[in-house]
Structure 1
């Protein structure tokens, strides 16, 4: 199962996330669920870092990726995170045994 843990501040704004695990819907390299989650997560990271020019902390282990926004979220980072979450929520709805989204506050 892929587990996505969202990190939120006291105002409920997303400030980062951790993604780990495998969907196991198909063989490695052919899994559309893993590919979809990966595309949404990587696009969000690139949008925040490259397009918005925001500083982030990015840590990638073997099968866990953690991204944390450095500094305060704003309406632009919120738009990117919210769009990512819309896509991830839809994948989780379609594949509930393969994707789980968890939210917590710091």
Structure 2
């Protein structure tokens, strides 16, 4: 986040509620974050830098876009609600981007 504007996200680890492949909360977070990446990159055709591997999805915008900010804020709010439902397994934090 920079000046209240969401510029990307980083999802790390596994939730650990159930075994890998059967963890519905982990699957939900994966689906939400990958959907956001696809929306930014493929649907909106924005210039994004991303890294995707087991236990990590990191995405950063390379351009400012109000719709992208709205998508990222929606992802944040949704994950925040999940963290309230599963506080031992899911944590969400905002980090300011230093330029």
- How high is the TM-score relative to the length of structure 1? 0.85
Superposition RMSD on alpha carbons, in Å? 1.1
> Of 66, 71, 74, which residue of structure 2 is paired with 1:75?
66
> Of 12, 17, 36, which residue of structure 1 is paired with 2:9?
17
Q: Which segments of structure 1 move beyond 4 Å, counting only runs of 4 or more?
A: none
- Structure 1 counterpart of 2:52: 60
**C-alpha separation between the residues in 1 aligned to 2:54 and 2:16?**
16
Give 1:86 shift: 2.0
Structure 1 unaligned blocks of 5 or more:
1-7
**C-alpha separation between the residues in 2 aligned to 1:61 and 1:38?**
11
| Deviation sequence 1:21-70 (CA, Å, 0-9, x none) | 11110111000110111111011111111111101111124422211111
CA contact (8 A) 2:33 2:57 kept: no
Structure 2 unaligned blocks of 5 or more:
none
Higher strand share: 1
> Of 30, 33, 36, which residue of structure 2 is paired with 1:44?
36
Alignment pair present for 1:85 and 2:81: no
| Deviation sequence 1:1-35 (CA, Å, 0-9, x none) | xxxxxxx11x2111111111111101110001101
More RCO (CA 8 Å, sep 6+): 1
